[in-house]
Structure 1
C-alpha cells in the first residue's frame, strides 16, 4: 500500500457515503448473492488504475477543484450504486452471504501524493510490477465481513492524477464495474447542472431476484469455496469471507503493455484465415478482433516459457450471460453475470508453425459452443474446470477490447492510460481498446526474463504477419 512507500504519501483518509440530502438516500438493505456472484466469493478483487495527465494539477488546484468534485460526484453516484458503499457478510444461520448496507456504511477513500515519474508509471515500457501497487487501496476483508469497494486518488503535482479502484469480485463483474466508473465520470461532468441525473443506460438494475436458481446452484458454488484449501495443512474457517491474496505468485515480476494496431489485427486475420482455409476450405471461420488477439498473445506467452512440448496450459475467457438467460437480464444488470469458457492444450500446439491459426480456430469454436449448454450445465462445468486445472498454468483474460475504458472522462480529459492491476494476482492478461482508438492494448505481468522473450516474440511475429 502507498503508506509503506516513501514516494507515495497518504495525505487524507476519508469515508464517502451516498449523498444524504436526497429522497433516494438508502437506509437499510440486504441483497443475497446469486450463483454468478458466489463463483467469485474469495477471488482477488478487481483492481484498476486510471491515469489522467493534467499539468494544471497543482496542489492548490487539486485540493480546491479536482478532489472536491470527485468526492461530491462519488457521493451522488453511490445513491444509485449503494451496494458499493456496503459490505459483504454471512450470518451464522443464513445459507447465502449477503451484500448489506446501513446508514453508517461508506466507501474508504485514500488521498495520496506521489513524486514518482507519472509518465513512466502510465507508460507502456517494462517496469517493476510492485510499483503500481502503491497506487491501489487495499480491499479489507476478514472472516466476518468484506468491503465491497475501496478507492485511492493520487496526485502527481504538475503531472496529473490517477484513480485507483479495488472492487470485490463477488459484487461486480467487469460489465458492472465499468458501468459504475462511467456513471461516476458522467455525474462529475454534470456537477454544473442544478439537478444532475444519470442516463438510463448508466442507472443500475440491482434486483438479484431476476437470477433464478431452482436447482440450488448457489449452494454448490459456496460448497466449492468451503471445501477449498490454500494448502494441505491450512486451517479452514467454513464461512470466512477473507479474500485470497494471490492466485499466482511471480517472483521479481515486471509489467508492460503491448499494442496491436488496427493494421496489425487486419494482417493477422488475413494470415490466419489463409492458413485455415487451406486446411478446411468449406468451413466458415469467425475471426473477431478478440479471437485473433487472444490467440496471438497466447502463442507469444507459451513461447516465452522454457517448457517441454507436453507441458499443459489452460486458456480461459469470460462470457457475459445477461442476454443468454431466459428471460434475458437487463443490459444494466448490476452484479455478476459471467461464466468461464476454458480448454487445456499441450505447449506443442501453441508452438506449432501454425499455432496462432490453430488456437484461433479453437477459441472460435469455444465461442460458437456457448449457447449449446444450458445454464446449469455451464455452471457445473465451471466448478469442475477449476478443480481439473489445479497445477496447470492458466492464461485468462481480464477486460475486453469493447469496454471503451478510454471514454471515462471526469471533466479533465480522457485517460492517458488504463491499467488492470489485479493481473499480477491472478496471472491473467489484460485487454482493452487502444487509447488512440486504433487497435487493442494488452497488459502482461511476467518475470523479467520471460518478459524480454515475450517482447521479442511479439515484435518478430508481427513482422512475419
Structure 2
C-alpha cells in the first residue's frame, strides 16, 4: 500500500444465505407507507470499530473474516429479504423487495495502514476519512441493494465493519437489530453448530401489520415520482437512483462529544427550573413532564450548534428527529418488527429562541411536546403533505438551517459483540450528507451519551468551546 493510499481493497465477494429449504424459494415482500417515505433517500452508513491487537494478517483472514462470512450467511437465513434487492421493473406499478435463490449481499474485504486509534477516536478529523471504510450501496434504475458491508483490517490494531443500508428497508432500530443478530450468531457459533436467535432478535416481517387507511403509500410514491432532486433520474421517474443529500461542504470535520449521566441530570434540573419561571401558572405540569435523556441531549447539542454557526437572530431553524412508532400504533406492533416504523418530527423556530439563556429549555420543551403529542395518534391530519414538504425543503436549499439527529441511546449499539469484545467506537457516518448529528449511549455503560457531529472546521472549534463551557456553567 502506498502512503497516499491508506486503504487497499483485497477482495469483493457476495455472501448468500445458508443452504436451507427457505433460501431455495423466491420471496417478494411489499413496502409499506413507512418504507416508501424513504424510497430514494440516501443510504444510512455506520462503522463499528473493534480494537484487537491480535489481528495479524493470518488471524484476520483465517478467523475473523471466515467467521464473519459464515455467521452472516446463517443470519441472512432469518432475514432472507436482505439478500435480495428492491426492484421496480418498468411494467410494475410498485417497487417491492424481491429475493431469488443465490441472491446475496456484497462484502468487501480491505486493509488500512491508518492509525486505528485516530480513526476510531473522538477527536476532530477530516470528514471524508470515514468514507474509506464503507462501500457504496449498489443502485441502478431498476434495482437497489438492501445493504453492503466492508470489513477492514488495521494490522495488529483492530478491524472495522462498515455498513451501508437502504433507508427504505431499515430504520435505525432494524439496522441495529440485524447487526446484533449477526453478532450473536457469530459469537455463539464458537460453541454451537447452528445457533438459534434470541426471541427479541427474530425479525417480524409481516407487512400486513402496518395499516394505511389514509392511502399514504400512493401519496408518497407519487411524491417521489414527481420529485426533482440532485441525483434523481427525472427522465425515468421510476428510477431507484438515490438522492444523495446536500453533499459534504468543503473543510468539514467530524468529532464526538460526551455528556455524562451527571451532565444530563444537571441539564434536566436547569431545564425544569427555567421552565417553571417561564410558566409559573403551570409549574406543577412542568415538574410532571418527562424530559428524556434523548430530548435533553439533542436540545443541548442543537443550541451549541446554533451558537457555533452564529446565524442572524431571525434566521429560520428547523430541528428534527425520528420517533419509533411500533408501540404507538393502534394496535401496536411487535418491538422486533423489521422494517421502517418511524415518523420524522420537524420543529420550526428562529435562531433567537435558541440563542437566549433559556435556549436549551425552549428546545427540550418543544421536543418533549412533540414526543408526547404522538400519544394522540401517529397519523396526523397533515400526514399526506409530510413527504411533499420534506422534498420541497431538500430541493430548495433555502435559507433555513436544518439540524437533525440520528440514532438513539436505546439502541445500545455498544452491545454488538461478535466474539472479540464490544466495539471501541460506533459511528453514524452518513450524518455528513446533511446538517445532522448522531446520538448513542456511552460505551462505558455509565448512563451518559455520545454525540457525533459534522461541521466546518471553524464551526467545530467554536462548538467545542461552547459545549465545554456550557457544561461547566450548569
Q: State the TM-score, normalized to the length of structure 1.
A: 0.96
Gaps spanning 5+ residues in structure 2: where?
Answer: none
SS, match of residue 308 in structure 1 = coil
SS of the counterpart of 1:25?
helix
Distance of 1:78 and 1:270 partners within structure 2: 46
Worse-superposed segment, 377-386 or 300-309 = 377-386
Q: CA deviation at 1:374?
A: 4.9
Q: What is the match of residue 444 of structure 1? A: 453
Deviations 1:367-398 (A, max 9, x none): 11112245263632522541564422211111
Q: Tell which deviates more after alignment, 204-213 or 385-394.
A: 385-394
Aligned to 2:135: 137
Deviation of 1:26 (Å): 4.5
Structure 1 residue 283 and structure 2 residue 291: aligned? no
The residue that corresponds to 1:457 in the other structure is: 466
1:85, 1:233 → 2: CA distance?
A: 25
Counterpart CA distance in 1 for 2:350 and 2:212 is 36
Is the counterpart of residue 103 in structure 1 residue 101 in structure 2?
yes
| Cα pair distance change 1:136/1:231, threshold 3 Å | closer
- Which digits, 9 at most, give the CA deviation of each residue in 1:124-183, with x for residues without a partner? 000001011000011011111111110000000000000000110001111111110000
Report the secondary structure of 1:375's partner residue: coil
Does 2:418 correspond to 1:410? Answer: yes
CA contact (8 A) 1:44 1:426 kept: no
Counterparts in 2 of 1:289 and 1:234: CA distance versus 1, 3 Å: same
Counterpart of 1:202 in structure 2 is: 201
CA distance in 1, matches of 2:62, 2:268: 50
Distance 1:232-1:10 versus aligned 2 partners, 3 A rule: closer
**Distance between the aligned counterparts of 2:175 and 2:382, measured in 1?**
23
Q: Which residue of 2 aligns with 1:52?
A: 50
Q: Which moved more, 1:247-256 or 1:7-16?
A: 247-256
TM-superposed CA distance for 1:320, in Å, is 1.0
CA distance in 1 between counterparts of 2:370 and 2:183 reads 35
Q: Structure 1 residue 272 and structure 2 residue 303: aligned? A: no
Range that drifts further, 152-161 or 272-281: 272-281
* 1:266-307 per-position Cα deviation (integer Å, ceiling 9, x unaligned): 111111111111222232332111111111000000011131
Count the aligned residue pairs: 463
- CA distance in 2 between partners of 1:388 and 1:158 (Å): 48
Equivalent residue of 1:259, what SS?
strand
**Would you say 1:310 and 2:320 are equivalent positions?**
no
- Hey, what does 1:9 align to over in structure 2? 8
How far apart are the structure 2 equivalents of 1:45 and 1:381?
A: 23
SS of equivalent to 1:369: helix
Cα distance between partner residues in 2 of 1:352 and 1:381? 32
Measured in 1, the distance between the counterparts of 2:149 and 2:231 equals 35
Note the C-alpha offset of 1:360: 1.1
Look up the SS of the partner of 1:238 in the other structure.
coil
**Match of residue 336 from structure 1:** 340
Distance 1:321 1:435 in 2: 26
Alignment of 1:43-442 (within 5 A): 43-191=41-189, 192-230=191-229, 235-280=234-279, 281-284=283-286, 285-375=289-379, 377=381, 379-387=383-391, 389=393, 390=396, 391=398, 392-438=400-446, 439-442=448-451
Q: Which structure 1 residue ranges, 5 or more long, are not aligned?
A: none
Distance 1:231 1:309 in 2: 30
Cα distance 1:266–1:101, how it changes in 2: closer, same or farther (>3 A)?
A: same
Query: RMSD of the TM alignment (CA)?
Result: 1.9
Q: Name the TM-score, length of structure 2 as normaliser.
A: 0.94
Match of 1:31, SS state, is: strand
Q: CA deviation at 1:214?
A: 3.3
Secondary structure of 2:421's aligned partner: coil
Counterpart-to-counterpart distance in 1, 2:88 and 2:218:
13
Please identify which structure carries the higher helix content: 2
Contact 2:204 2:338 survives alignment (8 Å): yes
